[in-house]
Amino acid sequence: MSAEAFTFGRMYHPWGRFRDLAHFTLRWAHLPEGVLGVTDFDGKTVTLAHGLDQAERRSTIAHEVEHIDRGWSPCTTREECQIERAAAQKLIGIRELGEALAWARDLEEAAEELWVDVPLLRVRLQHLHPAERAYLRRRLADEGTDEQDTTSETRNQ
């Protein structure tokens, strides 16, 4: 994980990032069940599925931007996982994540607050950097007990 991905408080704007990719065009289509978006490197298009809600569109465009940034590669599960992780890291800042988790009653509510879909939030939570985990532990401990934090992570505090 890069130091940049750990930056606090800077909102990532996937639509703005996509607009910067002037050579790619956005299209909408009916895609197969379960497919939210597709990047076509030959046709230089990103196609999003009809019927996505705002959070799904935002999560999907972040995923497709990640594909474009990395360039074409054979679509393996491993590559998909890395892309989903990168998109989740960019879309969900650790501070925002802490606030949402402290406040929300379940993952659905937290995802709504973070303006992402639930699968992307799950990926973010499954791949926390140890320093992020420590930050969340502290943040969530603030809400309730005075649990002692034994880590020495102090960045940006």
**What residues numbered 77-96 form the site for Zn ion, per CB under 5 A?**
80
CA distances from residue 103 to 86, 106, 112, 115 in whole angstroms, order as listed = 25, 9, 12, 14
- Looking at the Cβ atoms of 68 and 102, the one nearer to Zn ion is 68
Q: How far is the CB of 39 from Zn ion (least distance, A)?
A: 7
Question: Least distance to Zn ion from the beta carbon of 67, Å?
Answer: 6
**Segment near Zn ion (CB under 5 A); pick from 25-33, 74-82, 103-111, 126-134:** 74-82
Compute the distance between CA of residue 96 and CA of residue 113 in angstroms, rounded to an integer.
9
Closest residue by beta carbon to Zn ion? 80
**Nearest CB to Zn ion, comparing residues 62 and 111:** 62
Please give the residues from 93 up to 152 whose contact with Zn ion meets the rule CB under 5 A: none
Between the alpha carbon of residue 32 and those of residues 37, 59, 80, 98, 133, the distances in Å are 10, 18, 17, 35, 36
Q: Which is nearer to Zn ion, 59 or 94 (CB)?
A: 59
Specify whether the CB–CB gap between 64 and 35 falls below 8 A. no
Tokens of 85: 């992780």
Contact region with Zn ion (CB under 5 A), list: 76-84, 99-107, 109-117, 148-156: 76-84
Nearest residue (CB) to Zn ion, 8 versus 41: 41
Residues of this chain that interact with Zn ion (CB under 5 A) are 80
